[in-house]
Amino acid sequence: MKKLLFFIFIILFFISIYKDLSSGTSIPGEHQPENETNQGLVEQTYEVVKIKLAPGDTVLSIVEKLNPTITTLSIDEILNDFRTINPTADPNSLDANTFYFFPKYRHN
């Protein structure tokens, strides 16, 4: 009887590992590739680029370098997108020589 229970436990253990690895898990605060709203998924309007900040760089200066032709976005939109993809970073006090994710907007 003990061997049977042990065998069932091992089978359930491997099933749970398989389900975890095949479906993945979501870490709180981890960037999700899509923007979500209450109505469901919406088309993402930017791709994410990882950049190491140099001294003197700001969120807006990096976004301007990545998107030289886009002029229709507001500063609030840019900062909100930055906060979305960097939930633990404060856009007003970034550290030089640190990697951050920045939005590179798609041209419509």
The 3-state secondary structure of 55-105, one letter per residue: CCCCHHHHHHHHCCCCCCCCHHHHHHHHHHHCCCCCCCCCCCCCEEEEEEE
Which tens digits make up the pLDDT trace of 98-108?
999 999 988 65
Q: Is the separation of the CB atoms in 81 and 44 below 8 Å?
A: no
Domain residues of the chain, as ranges?
44-108
Taking the chain, what is the end-to-end CA distance rounded to the nearest angstrom? 66
CATH architecture of the region 44-108: Roll (3.10)
Which tens digits make up the pLDDT trace of 47-64?
899 999 999 999 999 998
pTM: 0.56
Say how far apart CA 63 and CA 29 lie, in whole Å. Answer: 22
